Structure 1
Amino acid sequence: MLTLIIVAFIVNVTGTFLGRISAIIEERREVYTVYPSLIDMIGDVGSVIGSTATTRLALGLINPSLRELKKLREHILGSWLSSLIILTTLSATSLVLNGLFETTHFAWLTSILIIVDIIAVSLILCISFLVSILTFKRSLDPDNFVIPIESSLADSITTLSLLLALLLIPG
């Protein structure tokens, strides 16, 4: 029940941010095209780290401490590199589908997506790991908390990161 309340609150916040960002990007259909994939991918990266952390905590391979995040370095790096490859592909695909593929457009959209990735993935990784630790320390089932909270927050954080990236690098 607690998870449901937390997720419902987060979803409402995300909807509010999406409404605000829509006014900024209504003319940027290439951004609208990648948005669903972007929020899903950021959430997936957080889920990989959250699941890895909860499994390692349960097996006693890591201690419930933020310092232990460094022990997930290979998983984090692999997930992040995968996301960068996917973002580059998404950028090209969106531009082709919208008839906008030019080198300058590709560089702009890819830069936007990479900035979003850096900001959002950094925050989501920390949140996933922190929720994993907190649920483990309280002897709660992390599967009931980590992924639902992380996935919902990923949507909000990705949306805010996209807004920030668009403000930093106007098209």
Structure 2
Amino acid sequence: MKANKKKNRISLSSIQDFFSEHDSVIKESFIALLICALGDLFAGILLGKMTFFLETFPGLLVIIPGAIGMRGNIFGSFASRISTNLHIGMISPKFELSEQLNNNILSSFVLTLILSLFLAIIAKIFCIIFHFESIALIDFILISVIAGIISTIIMLPVTMFISFKSFNHGWDPDNITTPLIAAIGDLFTLPAIVASLYVLNYLNTSLLIKEIFTLILTVFVISAFVYVFRMSSESKKIITQSTPVLLVSSILGVSAGGIFNSSIETLLTNPSLLTLMPLFSGESGSLVSILSARLSSGLHYGLIEPLRKPEGESLHNFMICYVLAIVMFPLIGFIAENSTNILGSAGVGYLNIILISLISGLILISVMIFVVYYISITSYNRDIDPDNIVIPISTSVTDAISSLILISVSLFILGALI
């Protein structure tokens, strides 16, 4: 009996030590995730208001998750590289333009252009394979590339501002930038797509002008890609390591869009689930991005050993992820249900939505922490910068499976309660 009491005291003491040691990390990440949730809520409400565009431009829904995910992947990796370079002194915290920073800026811009073009092609192929009614390929290209250019003009300066400001204020950019960048990406991608639809609508007045404009845009994208690829060894490294991963990520993003599209009836009959979708996907991706960035930085400056079995600092990062998940997933469930009620629609009930969000989130995070860890140590051991590949892969996998997990858990819980 005494031994059991001693073990309980040791266990309680260990928990208290853990929270004391990682208090600032949890607080910084929680604030960033909360802001991210607000951005994702706005995205969910905006998506619900895009019914007219979704009907007018069939197949648009397939490309939206991929476009949103791509912003987070590219600029999350951009922020992670800046964070790592700030930590190890490769970039000045005074925000001075340098070759290292310039290479990162141009590479991120070009990656957005080329991936936007690829995303449009994949979305059209996906629609053909699964017999979805859709707009023409040329329309997909114009929507995707124009939206990519618009969002990049916003995302580049915002990403740098957040990265440098957080570092200069003594906050760890790994805990701040990735969820905030994801939220801002979610916030501005949909308006950028809407803006591109207006441009497309204007160009539809003349098929010849639209075809010429698309050709010029495509040539510009390919030329910019080739130019930056040849510009320096650092740019070549970023593009070479990032492009294959981002191509796979785009395919996964389009797959998520297909899953979303095929489940639309279930979501429409339960409006709070529809509102929860971008919240759940965004928070899951942000949690995974925080873990990815922290593991990457830890590997770079020796706090984490790339071992087959995670231990030490890696396990601490896993625990931080779980703590944040236990707090955030019930919260976003509450936010989704409350927003649905305020907008005058019938929800599924606070208890149901909180259970759905929490259980789905814990299942997803339990899978993803090991996916992130082993991608991180594998890339590091093969001399591939984790900053270039871990966030794109992990967030895209998260996007692809989050819908399946959320819908499956929702059907199970709601079905069990009927």
Determine the structure 2 residue equivalent to 1:123. 154
Deviation at residue 70 of structure 1 after TM alignment = 6.9
Q: Deviations over 1:135-162 (max 9, x none)?
A: 1111111111100010111011111100
Identity over aligned pairs, percent: 23
Deviations 1:77-120 (A, max 9, x none): 223333333322222232233349xxx92222211111111111
Aligned counterpart in structure 2 of residue 26 of structure 1, from 55, 69, 85: 55
**How far 1:67 moved relative to its partner?**
4.3
| Deviates most, 89-98 or 46-55 | 89-98
Q: Which moved more, 1:124-133 or 1:70-79?
A: 70-79
Alignment match of 2:127 (pick from 77, 93, 98): 98
- The residue type equivalent to 2:126 in the other structure is L
Other-structure match for 1:108: 139
Structure 1 segments, 4+ long, off by >6 Å, are: none
Instruction: Single out whichever of 132-141 and 29-38 deviates more from structure 2.
Output: 29-38
Q: 2:189 is matched with which residue?
A: 158
Structure 1 residue 61: Cα displacement? 2.3
**Aligned to 2:90, which of 36, 61, 82?**
61
- Between the aligned partners of 1:79 and 1:64, the Cα distance in structure 2 is 20
Q: Could you say which structure has the larger radius of gyration?
A: 2
The structure-2 alpha-carbon separation of the partners of 1:69 and 1:155, relative to structure 1 and needing over 3 Å to count, comes to farther
Distance 1:91 1:62, change over 3 A: same
Q: Is the contact made by 2:32 and 2:175 (CA closer than 8 Å) also made in structure 1?
A: yes
Q: Which has the higher contact order (CA 8 A, sep 6+)?
A: 1
Q: Could you tell me which runs of 5 or more consecutive residues in structure 2 were left unpaired when the two chains were aligned.
A: 1-29, 205-418
Find the counterpart in structure 2 of residue 51 from structure 1. Answer: 80
Aligned residues: 168
TM-score by length of 1: 0.85
Q: Note the C-alpha offset of 1:133.
A: 0.9
| Matching residue's letter, 2:67 | L
> What TM-score, normalized by structure 2, do the two folds share?
0.37
Shift of the 23–108 alpha-carbon distance from structure 1 to 2, 3 Å rule, reads: same
Amino acid in the other structure paired with 1:41: M
Q: Give the CA RMSD over aligned residues.
A: 2.3
In structure 1, stretches of 5+ residues that fail to align are: none
